[in-house]
Amino acid sequence: MSELLSIVLFLASVVIYACKAGRNSWWFTATLLVLGLFIILNITLYASNYFTGDGINDAVLYTLTNSLTGAGISKYLLPGAGLVLALVALFCALGWVLRRRRHLPHHFGYSLLALVLALGSVDASPAFRQITELVKSQTREGDPDFATFYKVPAKKIPEPKLNLVYIYAESLERTYFNEEAFPGLTPELGALKAQSLDFSHTEQLPGTDYTIAGMVASQCGIPLFAPFEGNASASVSSFFPQNLCLGDILKNSGYENHFIQGANLRFAGKDVFLKSHGFDYLVGAEELKSQVADPHYRNDWGFYDDTVLDAVWKRYEELSRAGKRFSLFALTVDTHHPDGFISRTCERKSYSYDGKPNQSFSAVTCSQQHIAALINKIKASPWFKDTVIVVSSDHLAMNNTAWKYLNKQDRSDLFFVMRGDERQADVSGIKRSTLDNGATVLDILGGDNFLGLGRSSISGQSLSGVFLNMKEKVLAWKPDVIRLWNFPKTMKEFTVDSQKQMVAFSGSQFRLPLLVRVSSHRVEPLPESEYSAPLRFQLADFAPRDNFVWIDQCYKMARLWSPELALSTDWCVSQGQLGGEQQVQHIDKALWKGKTAFKESVISADRYRNNVDTLKTLDNNIRYKADSFVFNVPGAPEEVKSFNGISRPESWGRWSNAQLGKEVSIEYNQPLPEHFELVITAKAYGPNANRPIPVRVGDEEQTLTLDNTLSTTRLRFNNPSRSSTLVIVPPDPQSTNEGNILGHSPRQLGIGLAEIKVLSDEG
């Protein structure tokens, strides 16, 4: 009903303004912006619903505010481009319609009415209501009975005897195993499920409905609700630091915890979660590249399930032969929405429904073969008697090409257990949720039968059976769950660990570099990631009186407030206000302790503008005082006018990049000396090693020869024409991802430059 009302109000606003309001720039702009906001909100709702089936929820907010590294987006590029074009077209059409009667005199009453109706359309829209509810849910008091039902188990299992293999099957819900609805879809894994302890009524709760959330639910017994203050959850280096999770208990009990998947570990912060809770051995797409026979055999998200599960079997075999106590967790990916991926080793590569092949069903029938093959290998091994195998969904399937068929069924998550020490074939229909998975596994391994909000489905009662509406109860507990992050409210003292590149304050740890906005009632950590602006650009958006603490490499802040450190790549701490006073402290210890000290100072508009302008200077336009070109920091010495063909700074220097220029060219402000010595510290990449590299100044050319390690060479030049440009020509640039930023296209590397110095022979 609210959706229809919002559309009616939107159309009424457009008609009234277009027909009656007349010409006025301010009212036109205001009305267009509000109506445009309505369009953006509804497109956002449409896009979110495409992925979640539940509109704009915590899954959307968490994913967008965390690492998107490794996301398989190629299947969404065309629809995304179409959506952007549609948005631009709608804005243009809306502006054209609103200005149809611009020749008429302005009418205040109709303009006001049109704007009020536009605001009403936004307020009535389901998208605005969902976003408002999400914001409110972050600040509510919570439910007083949370502490009663949240239970912390013992830190150790008294006498662990069984190893654990836990397989998260991407989107592989139990509904797919319904033979009446989908005959012959899952014969191999279905047969194994029939030989297991199978739980047929596992519901999905809010905060457990996407991969990382399903993992947190199953291992910690809580839904994933995260704080979204200033995108801070993306910079937190620990994940629910106050919680005792399954991985922690296993590690405390002598288990080696391993996790293997085909996608990138950084996506959605899976690496942070696992490292925070007992996992020391992680393998993802980046790690598998050097381990698999064919590193190019992969899909949009990473390596196919046959590759991943083969790696899981090898790891299981190694650990079992070594006689270690271990847990081995795996996550598949081939059944990922929108339509999945078909590996080349499947016996059945296609499944038809309603008389035509369906890609999502095909991916399911393919992937379940690989999971079943792994389980059968383990069952046939001599080590199965000491092993528990768990197969579970990470979450229900999202909006894929099988979605409409799944929604006709009574949907539930998959969870079944096979024990090597006790053969049990039974179906349990008790009402439970994925929050109970970890407690059930813990109980089987000999530990307690509770974990967070989870209860063992073998010897306990699920809270899904205690409360009539567990979904509402979980949402009522959302503020209590968010508080478990122990998110800081103050910052008075802090500790910088320069070796681990972490900063800790108020009981929380954050990755470096970090920018923090500090007020008397709020602390807002701002991270630097592959999807956020550099911290200096974020700082440039601060108000003149905003207190900040900025922990970063010294050279980034030294240009403003500490020129003597302009070439230092050490860590420094800067604090103050952009319009007031600032101080820079050099971190000279491995474990450095500091205090916030914001002085009351006079705010200067000129000082503020100068600081903002300097912070916003593009890297290649930065200039520093030095007698040589130092390549491991951005910019160039003051004597350099411009340069090109050079990639971004790295810890040792910079590579030439033929994508930016076929040759490295450095133009100086003044002509180079008539007679000088050029001192170059550099190295070559790949086949560029031990090959002649032309170095030119004016009409004179010298030859440089480098190997694959940094070395210093001196070249003498005569420059009678007084040229001001130095040119270096890498002979054979190579396209590679070595040293590249994840997600960026390959660079064409030739030579690596650490330092160039011009020594004049002239008196």
pLDDT in tens, 560-590: 888 899 899 999 999 999 999 889 999 999 9
Residue 143 in any domain: the answer is: no
User: What range does the domain containing 181 cover?
Assistant: 149-483
User: Which CATH number covers residue 678?
Assistant: 2.60.120.430
Q: Same domain for 471 and 612?
A: no
Poorest-confidence range of 396-410, 460-474, 507-521? Answer: 507-521
Phi (first) and psi of residue 187, to 5 degrees: -65, -40
* E-strand stretches of 215-292: 256-261, 281-283
What phi and psi values does residue 546 have, to the nearest 5 degrees? -65, 125
Contact 395, 211 (CB under 8 A): yes
Instruction: Grade residue 312 by pLDDT with cuts at 50, 70 and 90.
Output: very high
Cα–Cα distances in angstroms (integers) from residue 118 to residues 108, 243, 370, in the given order: 15, 46, 54
Which tens digits make up the pLDDT trace of 251-308? 999 999 999 999 988 777 788 899 889 999 999 988 998 888 888 898 888 899 999 9
pLDDT tens digits, residue range 28-64? 778 778 877 888 888 777 777 766 666 776 666 666 6
Tell me the mean pLDDT in the region 140-163: 90
Model confidence at 83, in pLDDT bands (50, 70, 90)?
low
Q: Which residue has the tokens 């004597």?
A: 639
Considering the domain boundaries, does residue 645 fall inside one? yes
Asked, for residue 578, whether it belongs to a domain, the answer is yes
Predicted confidence at residue 231, as pLDDT, reads 43
Q: Do 442 and 499 belong together in one domain?
A: no
Task: Check whether residue 101 and residue 196 sit in a common domain.
Answer: no
Given 137, 168, 197, which residue is the final one in a domain?
137
Question: Is residue 163 included in any domain, yes or no?
Answer: yes
Same domain, residue pair 606 and 628:
no
Q: Which amino acid is at 637?
A: P
Position 534 scores a pLDDT of: 86
7-36 per-position pLDDT tens digit: 888 788 777 877 877 777 787 778 778 877
**Do 607 and 697 reside in the same domain of the chain?**
no
The residue that leads in pLDDT, 74 or 637, is 637
Largest distance between two CA atoms of the chain:
94
Number of domains in the chain: 4
**pLDDT at residue 137 tops 80:** no
Mean pLDDT of 512-533: 80
Mean per-residue pLDDT for 57-82?
A: 60
Q: Within a 10 A sphere around the Cβ of 376, how many other Cβ atoms?
A: 13
For residues 207 and 253, state if they share a domain. yes
Q: Which residues pair with 725 in a beta bridge?
A: 667
Is there a domain that residue 142 lies in?
no
Of 557, 583, 617, the position where a domain reaches its end is 617
Sorting pLDDT into bands at 50, 70 and 90, what band is 189? very high
CA–CA distances in Å: residue 33 to residues 28, 30, 128: 9, 5, 15
Residues 181 and 251 grouped into a single domain: yes
Decide: 205 and 474 in contact? Cβ < 8 Å: yes
Same domain, 102 and 202: no
CA distance 661 to 733: 11
Q: How far apart are the C-alpha atoms of 174 and 238, rounded to whole Å? A: 32
**Residues in a beta bridge with 263:** 302
Dist CA 52 CA 400 (whole Å): 10
Q: Look at residue 652 and tell me whether its pLDDT is greater than 50.
A: yes
Q: Is 488 contained in some domain? A: no
Across 69-78, 117-126, 288-297, 703-712, least confident range: 69-78
For residues 588 and 718, membership in a common domain is answered with no
- Report how far residue 177's alpha carbon sits from residue 183's, in angstroms, rounded to the nearest whole number: 8
The number of beta carbons lying within 10 Å of the beta carbon of residue 530 is 12
Q: Is residue 374 part of a domain?
A: yes
**Does 642 lie in the same domain as 497?**
no
Domain boundary among 116, 137, 158: 137
Q: What is the pLDDT of residue 614?
A: 92
Average pLDDT over the chain, rounded to an integer: 88
Intra-chain end-to-end CA distance of the chain, in Å: 86
Q: Are 352 and 358 in contact (CB under 8 A)?
A: yes
Examine the pLDDT at 98 and tell me if it is beyond 80.
no
Beta bridge partners of 711: 682
* DSSP 8-state class, residue 728: E
Q: Is residue 144 included in any domain, yes or no?
A: no
Q: How far apart are CA 98 and CA 13, in angstroms?
A: 10
Same domain, 540 and 606: yes
The pLDDT tens digits for 527-573 are 776 556 789 999 999 999 999 999 999 999 988 888 899 899 999 99
Asked if residue 78 has pLDDT above 70, the reply is no
Instruction: Kindly state the DSSP code that residue 236 receives in the 8-state scheme.
Output: B
pTM value surpassing 0.85:
no
* 732 exposure class (CB count in 10 Å sphere: 0-12, 13-18, 19+): middle
Region 743-760 average pLDDT: 89
**For position 408, which CATH number holds?**
3.40.720.10
Query: Do 589 and 650 share a structural domain?
Result: no
Q: Are 172 and 211 spatial neighbours (Cβ–Cβ below 8 Å)?
A: no
